Amino acid sequence: MRISILGIGSIGTLLGASLAQTNHEIHLHGRGERGARVILEGLEVDGFGLGSHAAERFLHSVEELPLPEELVAGSDVVIIASKAYDVVSLAPLAATLLKETGVAFALSNGLGHFQTLAQYVGQHRTLAATTTHGAYKEIEGLVRWAGQGELHLASTPFGPTPASVESLVQLLESASLSPILMPDADEMIWGKVLLNLSINPLAALAGVKNGALLSAGLFDACMAIYREAAKVARLERISVVDEAGFEHLLRQVLESTRENSCSMLQDIKRGRATEIESLNQAIVRIAEGHGLEVPVNQLMTSLILACHP
């Protein structure tokens, strides 16, 4: 099998290094300085025994150069592991790379990525996906695997065949990525999004690690964000965890990731665009369609955009 990973940031690097432990072909697609570095030096991940993998272990392509002809329609699996705002530009490439019998999914934070990808590769070849694996990039390209999590997958009524999903799960299991098939794609995606939008903008604006959000004032603000977003989810007829259940889950996540700096905080510190459009701003947009005001999510959106338009 050939697996293409589009985006070689923290999660893309983690996936590439994990899958490199198997005997399958791994194709990495990057851009800029990071893409050039990976072509020359390969991947390095610190944590849980992954280590280094030489550049020769992988097939390579970069955004700045034409796609090698031998990569066209040759991938059994395509994984988009980019920032949320890059999914729309990588989806056409996924369609170019994917075999007719292949499967694709996006692991980017936020809402709408399944629909975007399905527009290009077809719903019959698209899975919904989220991950709780934690990774962040250190100096000189080293990625640290900060926490072993799971990779959640879900199909839809017109999605990939059970056989292709089963073979994908076996592949991910062989790479120690802990795949779990979930029964409902919408519930899975919204469940992850509720956590992201309740944590990321507050941590970014306060400039604190996740654990600091356990303090009374900041935790109350997290819950206020959740209440608005959960109301929007229910208007969309999505079943989400109730307030007591979410409060318990949020405390668990903040405790287990208390030393983590969330991706939005890292983006703000480095002057990069954030994923706010696919998180709190998406909630505002959907709420407007229902004639509902969500002032706390609107405030989070406005403040993050003020930090980086």
pLDDT confidence bin for 138, thresholds 50/70/90 = confident
The CATH number of residue 254's host domain is 1.10.1040.10
Residues 297 and 194 in one domain: yes
pLDDT confidence bin for 11, thresholds 50/70/90 = very high
pLDDT over 70 (residue 85): yes
Residues 52 and 117 in one domain: yes
Token pair in block for residue 250: 């949020």
Residues 246 and 203 in one domain: yes
Residues 177 and 220 in one domain: no
Average pLDDT over residues 137-154: 85
Percent of the chain, pLDDT > 70?
Answer: 99
Residues 141 and 248 in one domain: no
Residues 123 and 9 in one domain: yes
According to the model, what pLDDT value does residue 144 have?
87
According to the model, what pLDDT value does residue 139 have?
67
Collapsing DSSP states into helix, strand and coil, what is residue 292?
coil
**Full domain range(s) for residue 197:** 187-307
Mean of the per-residue pLDDT values for the chain?
95
According to the model, what pLDDT value does residue 177 have?
96
CA-CA distance, 73 to 55, in Å (whole number)?
A: 22
b/e map of 41-78 (b: 16 or more CB within 10 Å)? ebbbbebeebeebeeebbbbbbeeeeeeeebeebbbbb
According to the model, what pLDDT value does residue 90 have?
98
Query: Which carries the bigger pLDDT value, residue 115 or residue 146?
Result: 115
pLDDT over 90 (residue 68): yes
Residues 127 and 25 in one domain: yes
- pLDDT, one tens digit per residue, over 29-63 is 999 999 999 999 999 999 888 889 999 999 999 99
Residues 110 and 253 in one domain: no
Residues comprising the chain, all counted: 309
- pLDDT, one tens digit per residue, over 183-196 is 999 999 999 999 99
According to the model, what pLDDT value does residue 135 have?
84
- The answer to whether 30 and 63 are in contact (CB under 8 A) is yes
Lowest mean pLDDT among 44-53, 70-79, 295-304: 44-53
- pLDDT, one tens digit per residue, over 193-222 is 999 999 999 999 999 999 999 999 999 999
Residues 203 and 298 in one domain: yes
- The answer to whether 126 and 77 are in contact (CB under 8 A) is no
Query: Which carries the bigger pLDDT value, residue 192 or residue 308?
Result: 192
Number of domains in the chain: 2
pLDDT over 70 (residue 140): no
According to the model, what pLDDT value does residue 194 have?
97
Percent of the chain, pLDDT > 90?
Answer: 88
If we measure between CA atoms, which residue out of 67, 130, 75 comes closest to residue 103? 75
Which spans in 139-212 are helix H?
Answer: 162-174, 185-206
Q: Which of 165, 183, 201 is the last residue of a domain?
A: 183
Query: Which carries the bigger pLDDT value, residue 148 or residue 68?
Result: 68
Residues 157 and 238 in one domain: no
- pLDDT, one tens digit per residue, over 235-290 is 999 999 999 999 999 999 999 888 888 999 989 998 999 999 999 999 999 999 99
Q: Which of 183, 200, 231 is the last residue of a domain?
A: 183
pLDDT over 90 (residue 225): yes
Residues 202 and 155 in one domain: no
